């Protein structure tokens, strides 16, 4: 807790706990199937940030006792060759989850690549079939960041029924699936964005605020209702200060201001970020269980 009573939501600790629970389920899956769940990650090109993400995913997958299959392709890979690899992974029984690291080099059609992934192996939750399943209230593989955000919200608030929630941002990766998840929890949900009229007033009505618009410290402290719980999905690097090589990382919420109003808020970094890889492992375990005809592990 901070001196004014607002709590910092420790996404790193929650993610570590989730990863341990997943690790404990893997041997049970192995006993029933004779193999470990498998995650295939495809990286095209040499984008530095993507390389870091892929390395982190590989390390976490191995630590959970799962099989990790990495495919690193050159930046000039042709569309048909990438699709062919995805189709090969679709047919591979050792692979339960497929993740193509985004963004792809500009000459590749990201949508076509995502659509080529078997929806039952789409652990990023981006295929339109999974989006449709989620919108229809059916079991679906769901994008990792919004699902992780929901876990943090439920850990803070318990039952979310009847609460007013505002999602700032409408991307297919975070905003839209986040809204669907909150609706499923019986929240009253408003989807807002950078062009919403009177955005501060809209946000001020919310018991729950999920900021995922990609603008540094856009949501100000006086936009927030006293006692609100805030999930800050944004990660933005400010211009470096004099004498420093890199600028500091901030979210989409002006955290210092927000602390005077909110009940709890995720920090940047250390809030939502650690949840993303943990939920990727969760999605891989769930996909593996469903593909094997097993009951989804309890609590996942």
Q: Is the pLDDT of residue 4 over 90?
A: no
Q: Which residues are catalytic?
A: 57, 101, 124
Domains 33-118 and 143-274 share a fold: yes
**Which value, in Å, is the radius of gyration of the alpha carbons in the chain?**
20
Q: Of 242 and 1, which is predicted with more confidence?
A: 242
Beta strand 188-192 pairing with 164-168 = parallel
**What pLDDT, in 10s, does the model give residues 274-300?**
999 999 999 999 999 999 999 998 888
- C-alpha distances in angstroms, 62 versus 27, 69, 87, 99, 141? 13, 10, 24, 16, 21
Q: Is the pLDDT of residue 243 over 80?
A: no
Q: Which CATH architecture has domain 33-118?
A: 3-Layer(aba) Sandwich (3.40)
Q: What's the pLDDT score for residue 130?
A: 98
Q: If you average pLDDT over residues 2-28, what whole number do you get?
A: 90
Q: If you average pLDDT over residues 45-56, what whole number do you get?
A: 90
Rounded CA separation 148/14 (Å)? 10
**What pLDDT, in 10s, does the model give residues 184-240?**
999 999 999 989 999 999 999 999 999 999 999 999 999 999 999 999 999 988 888
Domain ranges of the chain: 33-118, 143-274
Q: pLDDT band at 3, cuts 50/70/90?
A: very low
Q: What's the pLDDT score for residue 161?
A: 98
The whole-model pTM stands at 0.94
143-274 fold: Rossmann fold (3.40.50)
Buried-state track 154-185, b at ≥16 Cβ within 10 A, e below 16:
eebeeebeebebbbbbbbebbbbbbbbbbeeb
Q: pLDDT band at 176, cuts 50/70/90?
A: very high
pLDDT averaged over every residue in the chain: 95
Q: What's the pLDDT score for residue 168?
A: 98
């Amino acid at each position: 807790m901070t001196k004014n009573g607002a709590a910092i939501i420790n996404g790193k600790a929650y993610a570590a706990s989730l990863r341990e629970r997943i690790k404990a389920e893997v041997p049970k899956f192995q006993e029933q199937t004779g193999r470990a769940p498998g995650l295939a990650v495809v990286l095209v090109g040499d984008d530095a940030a993507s390389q870091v993400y892929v390395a982190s995913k590989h390390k976490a997958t191995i630590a959970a006792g799962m099989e990790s299959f990495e495919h690193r392709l050159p930046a000039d890979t042709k569309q048909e060759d990438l699709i062919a690899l995805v189709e090969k992974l679709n047919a591979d029984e050792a692979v339960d989850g497929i993740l193509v690291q985004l963004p792809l080099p500009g000459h590749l059609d990201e949508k076509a690549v995502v659509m080529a992934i078997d929806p039952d192996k789409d652990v990023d939750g981006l295929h339109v079939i999974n989006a449709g399943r989620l919108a229809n209230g059916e079991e679906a593989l769901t994008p990792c960041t919004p699902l992780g955000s929901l876990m943090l919200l439920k850990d803070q608030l318990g039952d979310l029924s009847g609460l007013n929630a505002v999602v700032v941002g409408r991307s297919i990766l975070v905003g839209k699936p986040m809204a669907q998840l909150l609706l499923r929890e019986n929240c009253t949900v408003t989807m807002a964005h950078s062009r919403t009229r009177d955005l501060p007033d809209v946000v001020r009505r919310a018991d729950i605020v999920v900021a995922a618009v990609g603008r540094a410290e856009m949501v100000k402290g006086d936009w927030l209702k006293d006692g609100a719980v805030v999930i800050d999905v944004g990660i933005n690097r400010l211009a470096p200060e004099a004498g420093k090589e890199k600028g500091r990382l901030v979210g989409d919420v002006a955290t210092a201001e927000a602390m005077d109003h909110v009940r709890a808020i995720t920090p940047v970094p250390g809030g939502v970020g650690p949840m993303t890889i943990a939920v990727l492992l969760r999605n891989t375990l769930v996909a593996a269980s469903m593909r094997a005809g097993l009951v989804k592990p309890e609590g996942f």
